[in-house]
Structures are given as structure tokens and as C-alpha cells.
């Protein structure tokens, strides 16, 4: 997504937003267009539930978040596949949502958790050079928000594209070519999901929060394993799942509600 396009939409949307639609403990929700007569019920509650879920993992989400809801034409300027995006600095945090997303509570939950997770990650990584950790960000947000991807389909997709290194994942995620960015997102997701299964959520969060700025040193410190060995284990896992193998690892969750098994879901 082009930063200039996002910035202009965000600024124009906030300037043209109608009156505050709803205010909750952590959110101020604005609409760039007039609300339908029926309105949207429980948006604030859904956002607060999403906040509680993600902050339970991270403990670093912003206390106050502005939410701007925009229509299809406006969001399509960012990208037809974009449901939401977030903007963050040390003084403010904003999430921009596609209005259609509000019509489905589960979709809203997933999208909200994903973007709230980004804001929490920004708060955590602001205190150190985050470049070596950037490849993980989309994967963390996708896993923590429990996005319904099939491990089999994701693994087959990766096998079809070829494995990316963390540096290649980071570059792909930032691409404006959807097919390239999709590859980056799914490889980040698969790597992070395997990491959580093997070491647990707490190890991933500790890796981000520890003062070590070198990713591989932080990885060893928080998992006891060198990343090269882990990466090869992930490759073997993906190959096995893609060819019909069974999962050898059980989950190592830090939270009992953290469901990592999505094989029955469709991508």
C-alpha cells in the first residue's frame, strides 16, 4: 500500500467524518459517511472484546484508539483487497475500517484484532531497531487474530512459490503487487504459527520485548534454539503438511483460549 495514498485517505476521512458515532473505554468511532438508518449494533463491544483478547497476549496496546469507518470507494483507493489498516505514532493510534466489514461480527473481530495487534507491536518495537523483526509482524497479527487459513492450503501455496527467507518475506509483504504481498503474508503467517506451536505465545512476545536487537540472538535467548535449525524444521513441516503428512507437534499455548488449529477452515 502506498503510504501517500493511505495518509491522504486518513486525513481526508478524519476531516470529513460525521459526528462521533460511539465512544468506549479504548475507542472513539467515527464514520466518514452518514450511518444507515439501522446503524451498526455492538461495534464498540466487538472492538473492546478484540482489544481485551490482543492486549491479553501483548500487554502493550495503546490506551486510546481512534477508528474511522470509510466506504468502499474510499478504501478501494488503498486496495480492493484491503479491509483495514492502522496508523501509529507515539502520540496517537488510528484504525481505518472498510464499512462492509461491520456487517459481519466475526469478520470485524478478526480485522480489529489484526489491526490492534499491529498497534501493540508498534508500541513494543518502538524502543528498539525493529527492522530485523519486521518480517514477523504480519504473521503475528494473522496468528493472534486467528485468521481462518487452512494449514494444508497454506503449505501447498508455499511449496508452489518456494520458501522465502525472513528478509525476503519482509520485502514481499511491502510489495504493492498483491500476488507478491500475499506470498509474504502467508509465509510470515506459517513461520510464526509454527513458532507458536513449538515454543508458545509467551516466547514470541518475549522475543519482541527483550532488549536484544539482533533477531537471531533474541531467538536463541527466548527459545533455546538457533533460528537456522528452526527454519529447517519449519521447511520440513510445511513439506510434510503439503504432501498429506500429520502434524507432529502439539500446541504450546500460553493462553487456553488460543486456538491454533484451523485445518477445518477454508482460506
- Rounded to whole angstroms, how far apart are CA atoms 32 and 240? 47
Report which of residues 175 and 34 the model is more confident about: 175
Condensed to tens digits (0 to 9), the pLDDT of residues 64-82 reads 999 999 888 888 887 788 8
30 with 21: CB under 8 angstroms? yes
Q: What pLDDT does residue 258 have?
A: 32
Q: What pLDDT does residue 252 have?
A: 42
**pLDDT over 90 (residue 154):** yes
Q: What pLDDT does residue 71 have?
A: 86
Condensed to tens digits (0 to 9), the pLDDT of residues 38-62 reads 567 789 999 999 999 999 999 999 9
Condensed to tens digits (0 to 9), the pLDDT of residues 87-120 reads 888 888 999 999 999 989 999 999 999 999 999 9
The structure's pTM equals: 0.85
Q: What pLDDT does residue 203 have?
A: 96
Instruction: Report all structural domains of the chain as residue ranges with CATH numbers, in order of start.
Output: 3-125 (3.40.30), 131-242 (no CATH)
Q: What pLDDT does residue 80 have?
A: 80
Confidence band, pLDDT 50/70/90 cuts, at residue 223:
very high
How would DSSP label each residue in the chain? --HHHHHHHHHHHHHH--S--EE-SSEEEEESSPPPTT--TTHHHHHHHHHHHHHHHHS---S-EEEEEE-HHHHHTT-TT--EEEEE-SS-EEEEEEGGGGG-HHHHHHHHHHHHHHHHHHHHHTTS--GGGGGGHHHHHHHHTT----HHHHHHHHHHH----HHHHHHHHT-SSHHHHHHHHHHHHHHHHHHHHHH-HHHHHHHHHSS--SHHHHHHHHHSS-HHHHHHHHHHHHHHHHTTPPP------SSTT-----TTS--
**pLDDT over 80 (residue 254):** no
**Can you tell me the mean pLDDT for 184-204?**
97
Mean pLDDT of the chain: 85
**pLDDT over 70 (residue 232):** yes
Amino acid at each position: 500500500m502506498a503510504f501517500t495514498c493511505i495518509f491522504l485517505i486518513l486525513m481526508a476521512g478524519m476531516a470529513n467524518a460525521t459526528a462521533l458515532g460511539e465512544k468506549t473505554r479504548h475507542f472513539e468511532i467515527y464514520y466518514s459517511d452518514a450511518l444507515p438508518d439501522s446503524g451498526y449494533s455492538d461495534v464498540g463491544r466487538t472492538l473492546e472484546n478484540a482489544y481485551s483478547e490482543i492486549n491479553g497476549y501483548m500487554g502493550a496496546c495503546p490506551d486510546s484508539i481512534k477508528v474511522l469507518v470509510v466506504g468502499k470507494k474510499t478504501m478501494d483507493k488503498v486496495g480492493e483487497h484491503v479491509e483495514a489498516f492502522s496508523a501509529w505514532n507515539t502520540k496517537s493510534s488510528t484504525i481505518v475500517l472498510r464499512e462492509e466489514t461491520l456487517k459481519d461480527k466475526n469478520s470485524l473481530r478478526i480485522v480489529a484484532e489484526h489491526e490492534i495487534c499491529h498497534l501493540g507491536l508498534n508500541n513494543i518495537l518502538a524502543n528498539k531497531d525493529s527492522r530485523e523483526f519486521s518480517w514477523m509482524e504480519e504473521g503475528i497479527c494473522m496468528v493472534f487474530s486467528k485468521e481462518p487459513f487452512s494449514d494444508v492450503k497454506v503449505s501447498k501455496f508455499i511449496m508452489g512459490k518456494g520458501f522465502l527467507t525472513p528478509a525476503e518475506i519482509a520485502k514481499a509483504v511491502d510489495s504493492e503487487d498483491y500476488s507478491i504481498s500475499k506470498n509474504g503474508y502467508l509465509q510470515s503467517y506459517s513461520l510464526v504459527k509454527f513458532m507458536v506451536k513449538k515454543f508458545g505465545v509467551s516466547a514470541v512476545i518475549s522475543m519482541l520485548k527483550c532488549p536484544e536487537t539482533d533477531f537471531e540472538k533474541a531467538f536463541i535467548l527466548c527459545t533455546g534454539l538457533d533460528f537456522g535449525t528452526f527454519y529447517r524444521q519449519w521447511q520440513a513441516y510445511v513439506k510434510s503438511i503439503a504432501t498429506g503428512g500429520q502434524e507432529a507437534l502439539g500446541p504450546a499455548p500460553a493462553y487456553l483460549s488460543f486456538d491454533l488449529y484451523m485445518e477445518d477452515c477454508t482460506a
